[in-house]
């Protein structure tokens, strides 16, 4: 679009956007921050952030919208689990996205999916301005993620495909969206870890639209483009994480735990119910939601256990070192724990299965675990179910504590 034309149209477009924004009132959408997961082991970690199709217009929760459908589409293709976190805002722009991610631990993700540009297109942002601002945002994301993480930049869908913007002025926004998309594609071409995805699926919020089919189509398109780069990212991820200073990792982990303010607090039914369910499902003598707090392992919720033990040599301190499940079929045959006090003394643990529990910003603060004085066979341990139970605890951690 010519600069003179864009400048002349900008005040009119701003008024048009304000008038159209009123039509979005009353349309349901999920909470702006959430997570959707699909069953499986060794899950992919995805962060979906931005405006537009990340918002989930017309759905009640993220499982029905793009995050849940993307998680399930990835699992269907990779046969791994998938955890898709979402940070969405219909008003999010290239100027605000980095600030919105200030408290998110970006290094935990295998991929970041960036959905921006719709607000800039309808406001007729100049291509050179978009180039400068998107370059800054993308550089910041790449700097704050692991050297293995891929950042997927999603193109702006046609503006007039959104019912509220389907008018003659929408033609100008569409033209600018196409121009911004061309700029985004050129920027991605200069970064080895940035991947351009020009979605072809429809978008919109009209009452007669099959939104669920749209979200499914978008998820499948994203999945097809993400599959190969994501596999490469997973292969490189472990090596990249090992380069981070362990002391820095521990400081960040402890800071997040302190910010939660749950250590040395009274038992809470919301955690006790999950721990009791885990014990029942696995048929073990004991279960706990264990927290690693400096030099100790403390149990926020426990069944048939002492309140705390030393961190040194504890099962939980080992479990939080990796993002997947830790399974010890026979503790007496595992050099990591064979001589620890919980194995050589009460409760004489032989079998242990634990899955890391992460803080809302992504630090591994503890684990949900089940254990028993009798060893078990690998075929008897469903770690995918343990993962889902750990996610239930993580969901509770996002809720303000009920204690004084």
Residues 207 and 260 grouped into a single domain: no
- For residues 269 and 228, state if they share a domain: no
User: Could you tell me if 347 and 305 are in contact, meaning their C-beta atoms sit under 8 angstroms apart?
Assistant: yes
Structure-block tokens of residue 150: 């891929």
Which among 159, 154, 174 is positioned nearest to 49, based on CA atoms? 154
Q: Which two tokens stand for residue 128?
A: 């050179």
Q: Are residues 215 and 260 in the same domain?
A: no
In this structure, the answer to whether residues 64 and 158 fall within a common structural domain is: yes
Are 160 and 95 in a shared domain? yes
Final residue before a domain boundary, out of 241, 272, 297:
241
Same structural domain for residues 264 and 208? no
DSSP string, 335-354: TTTTTSHHHHSTT---EEEE
Helix H or strand E segment including 170? helix 168-188
Outline where DSSP puts E strands in 220-348.
286-293, 296-303, 308-310, 326-328
User: What does the pLDDT read at residue 402?
Assistant: 52
Query: What is the residue whose two structure tokens read 């899955």?
Result: 355
Q: Per the structure, how many domains does the chain have?
A: 2
Tell me how far apart the alpha carbons of residues 21 and 25 are, in angstroms, rounded to a whole number: 7
Asked if the model's pLDDT at residue 199 lies above 90, the reply is no
- Kindly state whether residue 206 falls inside one of the protein's structural domains: yes
Q: Flag whether 249 is in a domain.
A: no
Q: Rounded to 5 degrees, what are φ and ψ at 277?
A: -65, -40
Residue 50's beta-bridge partner residues? 88, 115
Same domain flag for 312 and 232: no
| Ramachandran assignment for 170, one of left (phi > 0), alpha (psi -120 to 50 degrees), beta (any other) | alpha
Q: Please report whether residue 172 resides in a domain.
A: yes
What whole-number distance in Å separates Cα of residue 134 and Cα of residue 140?
A: 10
In a domain, 16, yes or no: yes
- Domain assignment present for residue 403? The answer is no
Q: Can you give the residue range of the structural domain that contains 337?
A: 255-397
pLDDT digits (tens, 9 = 90+) for 30-75: 999 999 999 887 889 999 999 999 999 999 999 999 999 999 999 9
pLDDT score recorded for residue 159: 87
- Tell me, yes or no, whether 290 lies in a domain: yes
Does a structural domain hold residue 246?
Answer: no
pLDDT band at 156 (very low <50, low <70, confident <90, very high): very high
Last residue of a domain, one of 194, 218, 241: 241
Average pLDDT over residues 147-163: 91
| Confidence (pTM) | 0.84
> Looking at residue 330, which CATH number applies to its domain?
3.30.450.40
Q: 207 pLDDT exceeds 50? A: no
Instruction: Identify the pLDDT of residue 119.
Output: 94
The answer to whether residues 193 and 335 belong to one domain is no
CATH number at residue 103: 3.40.50.1110
Q: Indicate if 348 and 380 belong to the same structural domain.
A: yes
Q: Does 81 reside within a domain?
A: yes
Query: Do residues 277 and 379 both lie within one domain?
Result: yes
203 and 283, same domain (yes or no): no
Residues 219 and 333 in one domain: no
For residues 321-328, average pLDDT: 91
Q: In whole angstroms, what is the distance from residue 259 CA to residue 248 CA? A: 16
Query: End of a domain among 217, 241, 265?
Result: 241
């Amino acid at each position: 679009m010519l600069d003179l034309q864009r400048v002349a149209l900008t005040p009119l477009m701003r008024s048009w956007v304000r008038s159209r924004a009123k039509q979005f009132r009353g349309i349901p959408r999920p909470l702006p921050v959430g997570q959707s997961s699909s069953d499986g082991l060794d899950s992919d970690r995805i962060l979906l952030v931005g405006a537009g199709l990340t918002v989930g217009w017309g759905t009640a929760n993220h499982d029905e919208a793009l995050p849940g459908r993307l998680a399930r589409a990835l699992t269907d293709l990779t046969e791994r689990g998938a955890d898709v976190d979402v940070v969405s805002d219909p008003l999010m722009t290239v100027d605000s996205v980095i600030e919105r991610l200030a408290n998110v631990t970006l290094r935990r993700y295998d991929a970041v999916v960036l959905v921006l540009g719709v607000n800039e297109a309808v406001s007729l942002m100049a291509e050179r301005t978009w180039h400068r601002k998107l370059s800054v945002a993308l550089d910041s994301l790449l700097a704050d993620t692991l050297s293995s993480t891929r950042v997927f930049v999603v193109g702006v869908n046609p503006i007039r495909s959104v019912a509220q913007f389907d008018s003659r002025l929408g033609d100008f926004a569409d033209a600018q969206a196409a121009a911004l998309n061309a700029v985004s594609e050129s920027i991605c071409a200069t970064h080895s870890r940035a991947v351009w995805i020009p979605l072809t699926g429809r978008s919109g919020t009209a009452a007669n639209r099959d939104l669920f089919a749209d979200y499914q189509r978008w998820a499948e398109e994203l999945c097809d483009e993400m599959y190969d780069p994501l596999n490469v990212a997973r292969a490189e991820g472990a090596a990249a994480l090992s380069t981070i200073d362990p002391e820095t990792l521990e400081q960040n982990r402890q800071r997040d735990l302190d910010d939660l303010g749950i250590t040395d607090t009274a038992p809470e039914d919301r955690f006790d119910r999950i721990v009791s369910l885990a014990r029942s499902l696995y048929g073990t003598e004991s279960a706990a939601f264990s927290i690693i707090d400096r030099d100790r392992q403390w149990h926020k919720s426990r069944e048939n256990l002492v309140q705390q033990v030393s961190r040194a040599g504890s099962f939980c301190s080992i479990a939080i070192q990796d993002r997947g499940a830790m399974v010890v079929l026979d503790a007496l045959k595992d050099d990591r724990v064979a001589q620890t006090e919980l194995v050589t003394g009460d409760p004489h643990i032989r079998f242990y299965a634990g899955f890391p529990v992460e803080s809302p910003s992504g630090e591994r603060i503890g684990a949900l675990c089940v254990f028993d004085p009798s060893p078990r066979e690998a075929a008897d341990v469903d770690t995918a179910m343990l993962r889902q139970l750990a996610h239930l605890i993580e969901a509770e951690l996002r809720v303000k504590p009920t204690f004084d």
